[in-house]
Structure 1
Amino acid sequence: MIQLTASPTSALVDEPIHIRATGLNPFQVVVFVASMKNEKGNLFVSQAFYRANEVGEVDLEHASALGGDYVGVHPMGLFWSMKPEKMLTRNIKRRVMNSPDLVELKLYDLNKSSFPFAKSKDIPKASLTVERWYVAPGVTRTQVRDGRIRGALFIPPGAGPFPAIIDMFGAAGGLIEFRASLLASRGFATLALAFIDYEELPSDSEELDLEYFEEAVNFLLRHPKVLGPGIGIVSVCKGAELGLSMAIHLKQITAAVLINGTNFVFQNIQKYHGQVKQPLPFIPELISRNALGLVEFRHFVGDPRDEAVRPFLLPIEKAQGQFLFIVGEADKNIHSKICAEHAIERLKSNGKNNWALLSYPGAGHLIEPPYTPVCYASWVSNVPILWGGEVIPHAAAQEHSWKEIQKFLRKHLLPRPTSHL
């Protein structure tokens, strides 16, 4: 009897699942198909071909995919290789509470199925559904409307106090919570912070007031379940630029994770208690499109080595906290590796060693929690943006960096144990 098993069948989205098929004929070739509909009803699908071993089993922990959406031994390949049926669709989880992603796994006999397998009307040899959660049991979510601050606060279960983090995304705006809910599931009190195009926040602001982010820091530190005295930042793209500015100006920032961001001010004026930092001017002519018509912003955003960019560089050497730079070397949105290396050189030239760098060949711009569909390009405000990245190395970067982010935050936000002589 053919059986398809997955263990566990319900888990956080950043947890691996052990998938096996048994009861096959020796050396039979089969196709595994994974499919999921997101909150908007968009379908994501992957498929991979495997050959059973001499006893009629396929164990994805050890078996090598022969073809399909990936090749080689990749136990979670069916999850991160899922592609949208509707091109340029990014899977952004919005309703993180009480609403898991449901991934359907199906097993077909290669010799008796019609192509394409993802849309086959044939009856699968076996199937099952697994739940992928973005929040662990006991994590609470509170909508935040405190003064100007807009966001969502996630608190882990237990008495606390917990190390605290502000989580920020890019210039597309809105409130994105899936990383914050996962970080809370891993023991961090996390504020998903909106800063543009959400509720009363302006949809397109020429100025960003760093006092807003300072208010968010102080709000978080006042919470009775927050450890303090410092907090961390996890940020990407425009959020990483702002995270760097926060680390420079706010002594409460102890640890900053900056994912594929610039080390200079771009697009928006930054203001802080009367200080004004002008942004690098727009040069629309530098926006380029690839052969598929996807917009590549890298040259438009700027290169920190250029003389013209120098006046807009952020004085990172003034920051007191620790930095973890995470860069995808195939980022098509920002010269992220060059920006990180330039920032590190500035720290080193000022006698600082408060940094670490994770640089991933083949990874693109959107380095997110692991085992989620890799996004190469997507629509943002009716613009088809190229993020870059090759599926297998990008997925590996997401898996490795997620563990390193948590390790870095714990190291610099939790008190060090005292030694007793």
Structure 2
Amino acid sequence: MIQIIVHPKTALVDEPLSIRVTGLLPYQLVALQAKLTDEKGELFFSQVFYRADKGGEIDLERAAALGGDYVGIHPMGLFWSLKPKKILSRLLKRDVINSPFLVQLSVHDSDIVFSESPESLKASETVERWYSAPEVQRIPIRKGQIRGILFLPPGEGPFPGVIDLFGHIGGLVEYRASLLASRGFAALALAHFAYEDLPKTPGVVDIKYFEEAADFLLSHPKVLGPRIGVVSVSQGAQIGLAMAVFLKQVAATVCISGFFFSVGCIKYRNESIHSINIFPERARINNLGLVEIHSTLGNPQEEANKHALLPVERAQGHILFIVGEKDCNINSKAYAEQAMEQLRRHGKNNGTLLSYPGAGHLIEPPYSPLCLASQNPLMLRPVLWGGETILHAEAQEHSWKEILKFLRLHLSPGSISKL
């Protein structure tokens, strides 16, 4: 009898699984599939071919995929190689507390590549992939100007506090904050535009709003002070870095696929940092109709753009830059290297850069599928994000471990000191 044996069947999305197929004929060629339907009804699926060993088993820890969505030994490849049936769809979890993503794993005859029929199915198993651990609390926050969701781990605490920021996607994105709470952090998913009564579009970034959020988080009885961390991505990383520069409350900042200058305008009290020069005519539309805006921002090293630079050397905490070298959205590697050089010129050693060959712009928690391109609410055409599937998956797995390690190191009791 053919079986798929998965352990554990219920787990957080950042946990690897053990997947085995038993009961096959010796050296039998089969197709393994994974299917997931998101909350909008969109189907994502992957398909890979394996050959059983002489005992009629396939262990994804040891067996190499022969073809399909990837080749080689990749125990979690069925998950990170998921692709949308409707092209340009991005997999985003919306309800992070009440329901998991259900992923159906199945074994089929090898000729499924030509036609799929009920007779081709030999075995199946469904696994639950959760974005929050049991008993994580989800608390809507509407205090003063602050709009967001606070996620608290189970227990008395106090827990290290983290503000989680996304970029041009807008609204309120919760899945990374809920996962951070599942790993022991009091995480505030903070909206900053296109949500409730906040501005509809990103405009002038006033760091006072984010300072209010930091003070709120530090005032919570379950949050460990005296300072907090920030995890930020893309346009949100501009804000995360500005918080590191201007706010004494910030001890550790993660900037994923970001930049160290102002796009638009950033202000804090009596200081204003004006926008870098932007050249929309440098945008390129490829043969698939995807927009590449990699070259639309001016060179921050040119004199005309010096007014846009964030004074990163003023950051009192530690900064972790994470970039993909196949980022087709912005030149994030070059920008992070320039920020690191700016720190060095001022005698600062509080920056760390992780640069991943083959990784694209959207570096997500582990085992998330690569989103090569998708619709963006602020763009008329779909945007190319970039990335190579296997290398991007490896970057996501490694960087998530480094993010958790970085936050624990710099937010633990006794570790916070003024640089």
1:331 aligns with 2:337: no
Corresponding position of 2:217:
220
Q: Deviations over 1:28-77 (max 9, x none)?
A: 00100000000100000000000000100000011000000000000000
d(CA) in 2 for partners of 1:338, 1:71: 31
Corresponding position of 1:300:
296
d(CA) in 2 for partners of 1:206, 1:225: 33
| 2:62 aligned counterpart, secondary structure | coil
Corresponding position of 1:366:
362
Corresponding position of 1:59:
59
d(CA) in 1 for partners of 2:267, 2:344: 27
The amino acid of 1:218's aligned partner reads D
Q: 1:143 aligns with which of 140, 144, 165?
A: 140
Residue pairs, 1:278-357, within 5 angstroms: 278-357=274-353
Gapped regions of structure 1 (runs ≥ 5): none
The amino acid of 2:311's aligned partner reads P
d(CA) in 1 for partners of 2:99, 2:307: 47
Corresponding position of 1:11:
11
The answer on whether the counterparts of 2:252 and 2:407 sit within 8 Å (CA) in structure 1 is yes
Same amino acid, percent of matched pairs? 59
The answer on whether the counterparts of 2:254 and 2:320 sit within 8 Å (CA) in structure 1 is yes
1:307 Cα shift? 3.6
Q: 2:194 aligns with which of 184, 193, 197?
A: 197
The answer on whether the counterparts of 1:256 and 1:323 sit within 8 Å (CA) in structure 2 is yes
The amino acid of 2:404's aligned partner reads Q
Corresponding position of 2:240:
243
Q: Deviations over 1:63-100 (max 9, x none)?
A: 00000000000000000000000000001111101110
The amino acid of 1:244's aligned partner reads L
d(CA) in 1 for partners of 2:276, 2:340: 20
The answer on whether the counterparts of 2:109 and 2:120 sit within 8 Å (CA) in structure 1 is no
State the TM-score, normalized to the length of structure 1: 0.96
Residue pairs, 1:17-416, within 5 angstroms: 17-111=17-111, 113=112, 115=114, 120-266=117-263, 268-381=264-377, 382-416=380-414
d(CA) in 2 for partners of 1:68, 1:361: 23
Distance 1:116 1:376, change over 3 A: farther
Distance 1:116 1:250, change over 3 A: farther
| 1:138 aligned counterpart, secondary structure | coil
d(CA) in 2 for partners of 1:11, 1:291: 40
The answer on whether the counterparts of 2:96 and 2:131 sit within 8 Å (CA) in structure 1 is yes
The amino acid of 2:193's aligned partner reads I
| 2:225 aligned counterpart, secondary structure | coil
| 1:380 aligned counterpart, secondary structure | coil
d(CA) in 2 for partners of 1:274, 1:116: 66
State the TM-score, normalized to the length of structure 2: 0.96
The answer on whether the counterparts of 1:69 and 1:81 sit within 8 Å (CA) in structure 2 is yes
The answer on whether the counterparts of 1:327 and 1:337 sit within 8 Å (CA) in structure 2 is yes
The answer on whether the counterparts of 2:277 and 2:298 sit within 8 Å (CA) in structure 1 is no
The answer on whether the counterparts of 2:277 and 2:297 sit within 8 Å (CA) in structure 1 is no
d(CA) in 1 for partners of 2:310, 2:113: 57
Distance 1:341 1:11, change over 3 A: same
| 1:228 aligned counterpart, secondary structure | strand
1:292 Cα shift? 1.3
Distance 1:23 1:301, change over 3 A: same
Superposed CA RMSD: 1.2
The answer on whether the counterparts of 1:303 and 1:338 sit within 8 Å (CA) in structure 2 is no
Gapped regions of structure 2 (runs ≥ 5): none
d(CA) in 2 for partners of 1:270, 1:340: 19
1:333 Cα shift? 0.7
Q: Deviations over 1:1-24 (max 9, x none)?
A: 111111111100000111100110
| 1:256 aligned counterpart, secondary structure | strand
The answer on whether the counterparts of 1:22 and 1:56 sit within 8 Å (CA) in structure 2 is yes
1:115 Cα shift? 2.1
| 1:317 aligned counterpart, secondary structure | helix
1:116 Cα shift? 5.1
d(CA) in 2 for partners of 1:208, 1:116: 53
Q: Greater shift after overlay, 288-297 or 299-308?
A: 299-308
The amino acid of 2:265's aligned partner reads I
1:121 Cα shift? 4.2
Q: Greater shift after overlay, 58-67 or 294-303?
A: 294-303
The answer on whether the counterparts of 2:46 and 2:82 sit within 8 Å (CA) in structure 1 is yes
The amino acid of 1:334's aligned partner reads I
Q: How many residues matched? A: 413
d(CA) in 1 for partners of 2:244, 2:115: 50
| 2:127 aligned counterpart, secondary structure | strand
Distance 1:160 1:319, change over 3 A: same
Distance 1:205 1:357, change over 3 A: closer
d(CA) in 2 for partners of 1:372, 1:152: 22
Q: Greater shift after overlay, 322-331 or 304-313?
A: 304-313
Distance 1:274 1:410, change over 3 A: same
1:255 Cα shift? 0.3
1:282 Cα shift? 3.2
d(CA) in 1 for partners of 2:404, 2:169: 25
